[in-house]
Amino acid sequence: MGDDLEWSDGPTGDSASARSVAWSVVDFILQLATVGPSDHMDALKAFGRRSVHGDYEDNLVVACAERCKARLLVTNDEKLIKHASVPAMTANDAFNYLCS
């Protein structure tokens, strides 16, 4: 995504402000988090977890988190939180945890 993405002005005409806040949030997250790559081995591991949790994409996220040795997986997917093999919590809980 870049600045070529068009934002329509909302009822108050503050799309520039919304864009600024959105990019600030992304910047904040990137300072706290590691974006993990995914490869073929992660795909195989995710496939192998299908008997534990039937959502392939969730399993791929967990496989990547395991490989990166993530200390925390942040998601609002309650099913993923229950089945994650790494510590996982909601965004709100993670925010409170990280800010305490």
On whether residue 84 sits in a domain, the answer given is yes
On whether residue 81 sits in a domain, the answer given is yes
* Statement: residue 1 has pLDDT above 50: no
Which residues are bridge partners to 88 per DSSP? 73
Number of domains comprising the chain:
1
Distances (CA, A) of 16 to 2, 57, 96: 14, 33, 28
On whether residue 9 sits in a domain, the answer given is no
* Statement: residue 88 has pLDDT above 80: yes
Mean pLDDT over the full length of the chain: 85
On whether residue 3 sits in a domain, the answer given is no
On whether residue 7 sits in a domain, the answer given is no
* Statement: residue 95 has pLDDT above 70: yes
Q: Which two tokens stand for residue 44?
A: 């195989």
* Statement: residue 10 has pLDDT above 50: yes
Burial letters for 71-100: b for 16+ Cβ neighbours within 10 Å, e otherwise?
eebbbebeebbebbeeebbeeeebeeeeee
On whether residue 73 sits in a domain, the answer given is yes
**pLDDT for residue 56:** 96
Give the domain extent around 89: 15-99
24-62 residue pLDDT tens? 888 888 888 877 789 999 999 999 999 988 999 999 999
Q: Specify the residue for token string 């995504």.
A: 1
Q: Which two tokens stand for residue 60?
A: 């791929």
On whether residue 47 sits in a domain, the answer given is yes
On whether residue 8 sits in a domain, the answer given is no
